[in-house]
Amino acid sequence: MAILEVKDMYKSFGKTEVLKGVGFTMERGEVISILGSSGSGKTTLLRCINFLERADKGRVIVDGNVIFDGSDTAKKSPSEIRKAQLNFGMVFQQFNLFPQYNVLENVVLAPKLLAKERPDFKKHKKEILAEIEEDARDVIDKVGLTEKLMNYPCELSGGQQQRVSIARALALNPKILFFDEPTSALDPELTGEILRVIRSLADKKITMVIVTHEIGFARNVSDRIIFMDKGVVAEEGSPEEVIDNPKNERTREFLKLIEQK
Amino acid sequence: MDALQQLFIGFGMNCLLFVLTLVMALPLGLIITFGTMTKIKPLKWVMKTFVWIIRGTPLMLQLFIVLYAPGILWHHPVSNRMGAALVAFVINYAAYFSEIFRGGIESIPKGQYEAGQVLGLTKTQVFFKIVLFQVIKRITPPMGNEVITLVKDTALARVISVAEILQNAYRYASKGIIWPLFASGLYFLAFTGVLSILLSFVEKKLDYYKG
Ligand SMILES: Nc1ncnc2c1ncn2[C@@H]1O[C@H](COP(=O)(O)OP(=O)(O)OP(=O)(O)O)[C@@H](O)[C@H]1O
Ligand SMILES: [Mg+2]
C-alpha cells in the first residue's frame, strides 16, 4: 500500500492560483525529488501536505488514512492537525533552528514535550527522558555532529545548522521526511555535506520528498522525479525518463536553463 | 536632619510607585499586546486606539484626569492621591510596554513558529518554549530604557500632590534652602545607577547566543 497519496490539490492565494490539481503517490522507502522553476508551487505543495497552509481542495492519505480532505466542511481541531502533522518531518531552506538552544536541546525539545502526553510518562519519567536523549545523540551522530552537541546554532556553519535541523526532524521518526531546497541557503562548498547526509538516509530506506534545484543530486538519489510547472505535475517518472529523456517541452526548457548555469 | 528624613520618606513613595507600577503594568501590557495583535478586528482597533491615546497624550494630563474625572463626572471624588497616581502610571506604562512587547513578538521570524508547529508543538508550547525567550532577549534593551524612565517619571506624581521626594525637596527650596534639591537628584542617580548595572548584567546573561 502507498505510504502517501496526494490527490488533486488546489490552492490559491487571493487571485493567484498556485496549485491546480497536483497529485502523486509514493511507496514506503521511496525517494522522490520535485523539480520545477521558481514559482511553480513546489513549496506550496509541501506546505499544503503538512498543514502549514490549508489547501482549498484535494486529499492527503497516509497509510490508507485520510488525514486531509478539502471537501470536509468541519474544521479539524488543533490536536487533530498536530497528530496528522507528526506523520511528516520538515527540513526548511532556512534551517529554522531555535537559537537559544544548543544542538542537543534543539533535537530533544519536541520529543520531550510529546512524551509528556504519554499515559505512562509520570511513572517512567526518568527512563523515558533518558531514552529520548539517547536517541537524540544517535541521530546527531548520524548527521556527524557529535562534537557539536553542546554548541549553539550561531556557532555552527550553515551546513552544520542544516544537519542539525535534519537530525531534529529525524528524532520524531516521521513516516515521510520533506526537504524544501535544503541546500539553497548554503554556500556551494557546503552543499556536499547535506547531500551526503540525505544520500545516507536514502540508503537507510527513509521515505523522502526532496524539493531541489540540484539536478545531478536528484538524478542520483531519487527513485522518481516529479517535474512541476505552473501548479500541475507536468512530467513524472524515473530519473532517466524525466532528466535524461524529458518528453515535456517545459521540462526540456527548464533543464536547459539549469544546464546553462 | 529633618530635611534628610523628609527626602528619605518622599523617596519611599517614589520607590513604592515604581515597584507597584512595574508589577502591574508588565502583565497588563502583555494583555494589551495580545489585544492589539488579535484577529478579532473590533477588539484590535479598540486596543490600538487606546494605546494611541495613552501614548499620544502627556502623562501629566493623565494624572490630572484620573484624579479629577471621577469627582467631576460621577461625583465620586478621589481622595487617595497615591492611588490615582498609581492608576495613571500603570495605564500609561502598560501602553508603552505593550508596544515594546508587540515589536519583540513581531520581530521573531515566522519560521520559528512553523518549525515548532511541524515538530508537533501546541501553540502554547511554541510561545512559551520557543518564542518567549527570544522575545525577552530582544526587548531587554528597550525595556531597560523604559524602566529607567519610569524611575524618573515617578517624580511627576508631585503634580497631583503626592508627597514624593521632589515635592518635599521643593518645600525647602521655596524657603530658600537649595541643597535638598541636589540631594534628591542623588537619590535618583543612585537608584538608576543600580538599575543600569542590573540591566547590563541581565543583557550579558542573555548574550550567550546571537540572533
Ligand atoms: N503566502 C502566500 N501569499 C501569497 N502568495 C504566495 C504565498 N506563498 C506563495 N505564494 C505565491 O505562490 C506561487 C508559488 O510559490 P511557491 O513558493 O510554492 O513556489 P516554488 O515552486 O517553491 O518556487 P521557488 O523555487 O522559488 O521556491 C508564487 O507565485 C508565490 O508568489
Ligand atoms: Mg520554494
Residues having CB closer than 6 A to ligand 1 are A 13, 16, 18, 36, 38-44
Residue A33 has pLDDT above 90, yes or no: yes
Nearest one of B170, B163, B159 to B63, comparing CA atoms: B159
Residue A108 has pLDDT above 90, yes or no: yes
Count of beta carbons in the 10 Å neighbourhood of residue A78: 11
Partners of residue B210 in chain A, C-beta under 8 Å:
99, 154
Three-state DSSP state, A124: coil
Residue A92 has pLDDT above 70, yes or no: yes
* Nearest residue (CA) to ligand 1, atom 30: A39
**Can you name the residues that pair with A10 across neighbouring β-strands?**
A20, A57
Nearest one of A24, A82, A90 to A232, comparing CA atoms: A24
Nearest one of A124, A177, A172 to A4, comparing CA atoms: A177
More confident residue, B167 or A57: A57
Confidence of residue A72 (pLDDT cuts 50, 70, 90): confident
pLDDT value of residue B1: 56
Three-state DSSP state, A88: strand
Confidence of residue A259 (pLDDT cuts 50, 70, 90): confident
Contact between residue B147 and residue B195 where contact means Cβ atoms under 8 Å apart? yes
At A176, the amino acid letter reads: I
Say how far apart CA B166 and CA B14 lie, in whole Å.
9
Global confidence as pTM: 0.88
What is the per-residue pLDDT across B81-97, written as a single tens digit (0 to 9) for each? 999 999 999 999 999 99
Count of beta carbons in the 10 Å neighbourhood of residue A80: 12
pLDDT value of residue B171: 86
Look at A99 and B211 and tell me if their CB atoms are within 8 Å.
yes
**Can you name the residues that pair with A178 across neighbouring β-strands?**
A90, A209
On the 0-12 / 13-18 / 19+ scale of CB atoms within 10 A, A248 is middle
Mark out chain A residues that contact chain B at CB-CB < 8 A.
50-52, 78-79, 82-83, 85-86, 88-90, 92, 94, 96-100, 109-110, 113-114, 152-154, 165, 168-169, 172
Percent of chain A at pLDDT exceeding 70 = 100
ipTM: 0.93
pLDDT value of residue B133: 94
pLDDT value of residue B59: 96
Q: Grid coordinates representing A164?
A: 542539525
Residue A178 has pLDDT above 90, yes or no: yes
Say how far apart CA B146 and CA B26 lie, in whole Å.
11
Look at A97 and B115 and tell me if their CB atoms are within 8 Å.
yes
Give the pairing of strands A65-69 and A88-91: unpaired
**Can you name the residues that pair with A88 across neighbouring β-strands?**
A176
Where does B107-176 have alpha helices with state H?
A: 110-118, 123-125, 132-153, 165-173
**Can you name the residues that pair with A232 across neighbouring β-strands?**
A229
Partners of residue A110 in chain B, C-beta under 8 Å:
116, 119-121
- The residue in chain B having the minimum alpha-carbon distance to the alpha carbon of residue A177 is B118
Look at B119 and A109 and tell me if their CB atoms are within 8 Å.
yes
In which residue ranges of chain B is pLDDT below 50? none
- Listed in sequence order, the residues at least 6 apart from B58 whose beta carbon sits closer than 8 Å to its beta carbon are none
Dist. CA A181 → ligand 2 center (Å): 7
Partners of residue A168 in chain B, C-beta under 8 Å:
119
Could you tell me how many residues make up chain A? 261
Measured torsion, CA atoms of residues B16, B22, B23, B24, in degrees rounded to the nearest 10: 100
What are residue A97's phi and psi, to 5 degrees?
A: -75, 160
Looking at every residue in chain A, the average pLDDT score rounds to: 93
Please compute the mean of the pLDDT values over residues A208-228 and round it to a whole number: 94
Look at A78 and B122 and tell me if their CB atoms are within 8 Å.
yes
